[in-house]
Amino acid sequence: MPSSIKPVTQPSASSLSQEPLLRVEDLKAYFFMDEGTVRAVDGVSFDVFPGKVVGIVGESGCGKSVTMKAILQILEPSAKIISGKVTLRSRFNSLDPDSPEELVELTGLHPDSRKIRKIRGSEIALIPQEPMAAFSPVYTVGNHIIETILLHQDVSKQEARQIAIDVFRSVGISMPEQRIDSYSWELSGGLRQRAIIAMALSCNPRLLIADEPTTAIDVTTQAQILKLLRKLQEERQTSIIFITHDLGVIAQMADEVVVMYLGMVMEKGPVHTIFKDAKHPYTQALLRSIPSVQSTPRLKLPTIAGSIAHPFNRPAGCPFHPRCKHFMRGVCDASQPALAPIAEGHFVSCFLYSSESMSPVATGRQAVPATENNP
Amino acid sequence: MSAGMNDLKKQTRSGSHRPLLEVRNLKKYFPIHKGMMRKVVNHVRAVDDVSFFVREGETLGLVGESGCGKTTVSRCILRAFHPTSGEILFREADDQITDLSPLDRAALRRFRPQMQMIFQDPFGSLNPRMTIFEIISEPLYVNGLRSRADRTDQAAELLKLVGLRPEFMQRYPHAFSGGQRQRIGIARALALHPRLVVADEPVSALDVSVQAQVLNLMLDLQEKLNLTYLFVAHDLSVVKHISDRVCVMYVGKVVEMAATKELFEAPRHPYTAALMMAVPVPDPDQRHIIQDLPGEVASPANPPSGCYFHPRCAFAAEVCRTQTPQLREISPDHFVSCHRAEELQLAGIDENKERQ
């Protein structure tokens, strides 16, 4: 029922006039393999507004990284974008904040086209997951950054080097003049992650895609990096798409949250709504099942029964129904619920809310199996 | 109400018990070789004078950031590594106490069934060419249970114990999900009725929705079988969830050890406090809480003088630069190695009453 997907409206009054910087509409990206088709991203829609952080949460295989790759058009050869639109409000001159803007449909561009190559790195920058793998070991980190700057800006090599040193300083790397000539393997995990962020910021992108930027590093370093990202985001008014499986990080960083499961958006809304008033059974169960530093020791956690379905045999209907304790026979396994608004800016894809009533989940609209605590 | 009951249970379960395992002044140095003659130029002090104990029937959580030596400690206890020096005292069922550190392979065989391990990676730790039956029954066979029928019965029992169906016995690991594989790993570890189970990051490779299942299973099994866990992990939330007591390590040393609740609510070491402040809380109303610790973890090959934490510590005084603090008991069952533990007022984490 795609008709029920209304155009997304910006919830906060202050920026009502603002248009989204990036709009993803009903994006579908499938992998075609010998063993079968994997519907990695299956109808994902969300908006990114200027200066906002959108957090995409989900467990492994939920399609959060493929969404990111589809936006940047860097999917693996076996993957194809089946349908959907990704629209970016692009500046003619990416360095000039007053430059006139045009709407560019990224999904319509060839992955090798000049236009998308100009957008990657300068307008949309990526902070990849593995800081070790992101740098080549035979070039200095400075080489990487200077190359990016020379590609997108009309400057000399000397100027580019100076820009690189300045960005290094702004992300909190001490002795940037020396560090710029070191190799990635000479740097510690935290410094390497800072260098990656410096590279992503070197061309002043308006949108930063951070794909699990802190999963490979320790908590104290993670706190440093999160703080840095928040500071840079506030200073530069950069929009960030923050992809992670860590709900703690999402709660700390995001303005808007998109919860994904098996390639579909289960729920999306402002961060407070998602954490305080989640409506989708998956979001609710996920929030309950994570151990928190604030919870009482040695209490049994409520769990989500079963495990994530294999991508080749995804359940029919709602992808979460075999694990859902509000499963309604003949409804949830028959068709896919549409992502429908239930409040201002709050969207849920669940049959519990789809029809006439908006009754809370707890009233128990005929729940049967999926025994909650039974492994 | 439920919290109160839980407390009571904990008292009876671990309160009066004696140590099952005690580690005294354990050191493990790895040599750094250099040059053509492979001359030893320096050592990585992976574990540098570590002492702690684990009581019968309790869970001791061992936390720390990467490179702090927590895995090396667990491997020394299981004698996968030969410790450089120190004692590993293990109490057997008949109350006899033995130091495992100097024993050779043959002498260790008697202890192997009593100490088992749950591994981190459920994909790497199960042989893909062996069926689940073969994986679980191999320890039984090695330890003298030669009758196939008996082994089948026991393997079926073990699978039921960890919540898997015995019919799955003839399948291969690839047919199982990560959480199920971890259950198989747990079944194998329990096959010989061990008294000590060392779990090295048992849930860090699992999806968040599956983590809780495995943690609950480990809590259940501990109650049923009176197991003692040494739970090694980097995730403070997970450690808090499963441990009776927690031991915090930093660059090869124990900095603090106390009962879980006490450690989280009233930490006495600045590193423990900083570590807890760095954990992102899943609550958008508590955003101010993220505080970072300046600098990087010191290198265990070239640690700083005095207290290893002093270059990053907000409270470092002159004595911290020159003298290495000793681990001492500042209140009953609360051990800390900080010169200024008594004077410092450190913030802990309050328990969130809203969460159930």
CATH number of the domain at B191, please.
3.40.50.300
What element of type H or E holds A240?
strand A239-244
* Chain A residues 112-151 with CB within 8 Å of chain B: none
The DSSP secondary-structure symbol of A140 reads B
∠ CA A12-A16-A20, nearest 5°, is 95
In sequence order, the 6+-apart residues with CB closer than 8 A to the CB of B331 are: none
d(CA B270, CA B324): 15
- Fill in the amino acid letter for B127: N
Are the C-beta atoms of residues B26 and B87 closer than 8 Å to each other?
yes
Decide if B185 is inside a domain. Answer: yes
Residue of A nearest to B220 (CA): A300
**B1 has a pLDDT exceeding 70:** no
Instruction: Identify whether residues B91 and B134 lie together within a single domain.
Output: yes
Q: How many CA atoms lie within 13 A of B243 on its CB side?
A: 30
**B270 has a pLDDT exceeding 90:** yes
Residue whose C-alpha is closest to residue B26's, from B81, B84, B99: B84
ipTM, interface predicted TM-score of the complex: 0.81
Contact A248 B280 (CB under 8 A): yes
Would you call A163 helix, strand, or coil by DSSP? helix
Indicate if the alpha-carbon torsion angle B64, B67, B69, B75 is positive or negative: positive
The DSSP secondary-structure symbol of A367 reads -
Q: Per-block average pLDDT, block size 10, for chain A (375 residues)?
A: 42 55 94 89 93 91 90 91 92 73 88 90 88 87 93 92 92 88 87 89 91 83 88 89 91 94 94 94 91 83 83 87 90 90 92 61 41 40
Decide if B250 is inside a domain. Answer: no
Instruction: Identify whether residues B230 and B326 lie together within a single domain.
Output: no
Residue B352, pLDDT score: 55
Task: Give the mean pLDDT of B257-264.
Answer: 94
Residue whose C-alpha is closest to residue A269's, from A353, A334, A326, A197: A353
The three-state (H, E, C) secondary structure of chain B, written as one string: CHHHHHHHHHHHHHHCCCEEEEEEEEEEEEEEEECCCCEEEEEEEEEEEEEEEEECCCEEEEECCCCCCHHHHHHHHCCCCCCCEEEEEEECCCCCEEECCCCCHHHHCCCHHHEEEECCCCCCCCCCCCCHHHHHHHHHHHCCCCCHHHHHHHHHHHHHHCCCCHHHHHCCHHHCCHHHHHHHHHHHHHCCCCCEEEEECCCCCCCHHHHHHHHHHHHHHHHHHCCEEEEEECCHHHHHHHCCEEEEEECCEEEEEEEHHHHHHCCCCHHHHHHHHHCCCCCHHHHHHCCCCCCCCCCCCCCCCCCCCHHHCCCCCHHHHHCCCCCEEEECCEEECCCCCCCCCCCCCCCCCCCC
Q: Is A299 on the interface with B (CB under 8 A)?
A: yes
Please list every residue in chain A whose beta carbon sits closer than 8 Å to the beta carbon of residue B202: none
Instruction: Identify whether residues B182 and B324 lie together within a single domain.
Output: no
Instruction: Identify whether residues B55 and B129 lie together within a single domain.
Output: yes
Task: Give the mean pLDDT of B35-56.
Answer: 90
Instruction: Identify whether residues B205 and B302 lie together within a single domain.
Output: no
Contact A293 B276 (CB under 8 A): yes
- DSSP state letters, A30-48: EEEETTEEEEEEEEEEEEE
Task: Give the mean pLDDT of B171-176.
Answer: 92
CA distance B103 to chain A (A): 35
Decide if B285 is inside a domain. Answer: yes
Instruction: Identify whether residues B133 and B226 lie together within a single domain.
Output: yes
- Fill in the amino acid letter for A325: K
For tokens 């370093």, what's the residue?
A221
pLDDT digits (tens, 9 = 90+) for A291-309: 888 888 888 888 888 888 8
Domain enclosing residue B285, as ranges: 263-336
d(CA B214, CA A323): 16
Q: How many CB pairs under 8 A join A and B?
A: 180
Are the C-beta atoms of residues B198 and B78 closer than 8 Å to each other?
yes
**Among B190, B210, B243, residue at a domain's last position:** B243
Task: Name the CA radius of gyration of chain B, rounded.
Answer: 21
Residue A189, judged by CB atoms within 10 A of its CB (0-12, 13-18, 19+), counts as: buried
User: Residue B41 corresponds to which tokens in the numbers above?
Assistant: 């130029």
- DSSP state letters, A250-317: HHHH-SEEEEEETTEEEEEEEHHHHHHS--SHHHHHHHHHS--TTSPTTPPPP---S-PPPGGGPPSS
Out of A249, A251, A294, name the one closest to residue B351 (CB).
A294
Are the C-beta atoms of residues A317 and A335 closer than 8 Å to each other?
yes
Contact B296 A221 (CB under 8 A): yes
Please list every residue in chain A whose beta carbon sits closer than 8 Å to the beta carbon of residue B355: 292, 294-295
Mutate to test the interface with B, among A277, A287, A296 (most CBs of B within 10 A): A296
Residue of B nearest to A249 (CA): B280
Contact B290 A303 (CB under 8 A): no
Instruction: Identify whether residues B236 and B272 lie together within a single domain.
Output: no
**Among B183, B215, B243, residue at a domain's last position:** B243
Please list every residue in chain A whose beta carbon sits closer than 8 Å to the beta carbon of residue B279: 219, 248, 293
pLDDT digits (tens, 9 = 90+) for A73-127: 999 999 999 999 999 998 877 667 777 888 899 988 998 998 899 899 889 999 9
Decide if B315 is inside a domain. Answer: yes
Residue A268, pLDDT score: 95
Q: Is A215 on the interface with B (CB under 8 A)?
A: no
The three-state (H, E, C) secondary structure of A66-100, written as one string: HHHHHHHCCCCCCEEEEEEEEEEEEECCCCCCCCC
Task: Give the mean pLDDT of B232-240.
Answer: 91
Decide if B125 is inside a domain. Answer: yes
Are the C-beta atoms of residues A210 and A241 closer than 8 Å to each other?
yes
Instruction: Identify whether residues B132 and B234 lie together within a single domain.
Output: yes
Contact B281 A251 (CB under 8 A): yes
**Among B178, B208, B243, residue at a domain's last position:** B243
Please list every residue in chain A whose beta carbon sits closer than 8 Å to the beta carbon of residue B284: 251-252, 254, 271-272, 275-276
User: Residue A132 corresponds to which tokens in the numbers above?
Assistant: 């070790």
How many domains does chain B fold into? 2
d(CA B88, CA B86): 7
CA distance B78 to chain A (A): 25
Residue whose C-alpha is closest to residue A141's, from A96, A100, A191, A97: A191
Mutate to test the interface with A, among B121, B168, B177, B209 (most CBs of A within 10 A): B209
Instruction: Identify whether residues B99 and B233 lie together within a single domain.
Output: yes
User: Residue A67 corresponds to which tokens in the numbers above?
Assistant: 């969404």
- High-pLDDT (> 90) share of chain B, %: 67
Instruction: Identify whether residues B213 and B304 lie together within a single domain.
Output: no
Please list every residue in chain A whose beta carbon sits closer than 8 Å to the beta carbon of residue B264: 293, 297
Would you call A210 helix, strand, or coil by DSSP? strand
Residue A48, judged by CB atoms within 10 A of its CB (0-12, 13-18, 19+), counts as: buried
Contact A303 B280 (CB under 8 A): no
Decide if B354 is inside a domain. Answer: no
User: Residue A72 corresponds to which tokens in the numbers above?
Assistant: 């940047």
Indicate if the alpha-carbon torsion angle B267, B326, B343, B322 is positive or negative: negative
Decide if B53 is inside a domain. Answer: yes
CA distance A300 to chain B (A): 6
Please list every residue in chain B whose beta carbon sits closer than 8 Å to the beta carbon of residue A303: 209, 212-213, 216
Mutate to test the interface with B, among A52, A194, A293 (most CBs of B within 10 A): A293
**Residue-averaged pLDDT of chain B:** 88
Mutate to test the interface with A, among B292, B293, B302 (most CBs of A within 10 A): B292
Please list every residue in chain B whose beta carbon sits closer than 8 Å to the beta carbon of residue A35: none
CA dihedral A266, A272, A276, A279 (to 10 degrees): -20
d(CA A239, CA A228): 14
The torsion region of residue B47 among left (phi > 0), alpha (psi -120 to 50) and beta comes to: beta
Please list every residue in chain A whose beta carbon sits closer than 8 Å to the beta carbon of residue B180: 307
Please list every residue in chain A whose beta carbon sits closer than 8 Å to the beta carbon of residue B274: 220
* Chain A residues 263-282 with CB within 8 Å of chain B: 271-272, 275-276
Beta bridge partners of B97: B91
Residue whose C-alpha is closest to residue A152's, from A76, A191, A88, A206: A206
Give whichever of A310-319, B2-11, B141-150 has the largest mean pLDDT: B141-150
More confident call, B20 vs B14: B20
Decide if B309 is inside a domain. Answer: yes
What element of type H or E holds A177?
helix A176-179
**B139 has a pLDDT exceeding 80:** yes
Residue whose C-alpha is closest to residue B198's, from B13, B71, B93: B71
Are the C-beta atoms of residues A22 and A86 closer than 8 Å to each other?
yes
Instruction: Identify whether residues B124 and B234 lie together within a single domain.
Output: yes
Q: Is A216 on the interface with B (CB under 8 A)?
A: no
Instruction: Identify whether residues B28 and B174 lie together within a single domain.
Output: yes
Residue of B nearest to A304 (CA): B209
The DSSP secondary-structure symbol of A347 reads E
d(CA A91, CA A103): 9
Beta bridge partners of A269: A257
